[in-house]
Amino acid sequence: MDSQALATLSEQVLLKLISSPQDTQRLFHGRGRCFPGLEHITVDWLEGQVLVSLFKEPTSDSLDKLNNELINWTNKKEWSASKVQSLLLQHRSRERSPTECLWGNYQEHQVVNEEGLLFQLDLGENQNSGLFLDMRYGRRWVRENSQDKRVLNLFAYTCGFSIAAIAGGADFVVNLDMAKAVLSRGRENHRLNKHDLNNVKFFAHDIFKSWGKIKKYGEYDLIIIDPPTFQRGSFALTKDYQKILRRLPELLTENGQVLACVNDPTIPAQFLIDGMREEAPSLEYQYRLDNPPEFLDIDIESGLKALIFQKKKS
């Protein structure tokens, strides 16, 4: 990171702070490769906490220069005007992705607001805090398209889509994820939003061993698939996604919809379109959701791909 790159980082972040951000949002997205020399840095606003994430280990000299630049932010008028509480630096390339507090009062557990919905974040404990900010429009779409629907949320993580679905008037949601801990956080997220948990199920199971349980609660009006690229021992996106797609027709209602997602920068949207055509030809591609503007990417195929499919009328 040279001095010009660091100056650009500061300019971009402080410019965003001038507007006194309220909800949780990304302030700087270097991973979109629109800012030379800053491809490995992101900066997020977490309602008072500013989280800088490093996705590549810099040299010790570069890290010192970065730390000095970050600390210099705290002396700026934009910083004090936005009422920042803490400045955090997460080392994503290091083991367990440790987070250190460079300035202020560090809150490891924090409730944040996204478009009126509440989510608990766990900072410093895991690589990911509990809410993927680039999926904001996806959660909004689910909220706007869940009225009176039965929803299946695969790879549910902390149940962000489930929160959105119930907020949007869904009748019933099934959440499935291998990790019991993240589903427990999802249950707490529902409670934060005062949702009736009688309408929500949580299953900590391997999806490929759970089709019987999934079908027990189907058919579904909406199925959401947002998998990791790789999950050791259980899922590899390029070879296992097709196994899920071919199951969709039997799980969907007559006019059912699917929100299918890929967030691997090396895999284009066409992977999903072609896969659905081959494995579930009764589902027709409708459109791709936009990504939030703060996630600007030099190549649209490198960012999040969130695609809507509709079951064809027989």
Q: Where along the chain do its domains lie? A: 3-122, 133-311
Q: What span, in angstroms and rounded, lies between the C-alpha atoms of 240 and 304?
A: 19
Q: What is the pLDDT of residue 141?
A: 98
Tell me, what's the pLDDT at 234?
Answer: 66
Angle of helix 270-279 relative to helix 237-245, nearest 10 degrees, comes to 40
Q: Which residues contact 86 (CB under 8 A, 6 or more apart)?
A: 48, 49, 50, 101, 103, 104, 105, 106, 107
Strands 41-46 and 49-54: antiparallel
Tokens of 230: 């790789």
pLDDT for residue 232: 65
In which residue are the tokens 């948990």 written?
Answer: 197
| CATH of span 3-122 | 3.30.750.80
Query: Two tokens at 215?
Result: 């079908």
Along the chain (314 residues), what's the average pLDDT of each consecutive run of 10 residues? 93 91 91 96 96 95 96 96 94 91 94 96 85 97 98 97 98 95 96 96 92 90 91 77 95 97 95 97 98 95 97 82
| Radius of gyration over every alpha carbon of the chain, rounded to an integer in angstroms | 20
pLDDT of residue 131: 95
Of the candidates 210, 199, 143, 147, the one whose C-alpha atom is nearest the C-alpha of residue 176 is 210
- Residue 68: CA count within 13 A, CB half-sphere: 11
> In CATH, what number does 133-311 get?
3.40.50.150
Q: Report the pLDDT value the prediction gives residue 312, as an integer from 0 to 100.
A: 87
pLDDT at 51: 97
E strands, 83-138, in order = 86-91, 99-104, 109-114, 117-122
d(CA 205, CA 220): 19
The whole-number pLDDT of residue 313 equals 79
**pTM, full prediction:** 0.95
The whole-number pLDDT of residue 255 equals 93
Same fold, 3-122 and 133-311: no
- Specify the amino acid at residue 217: Y
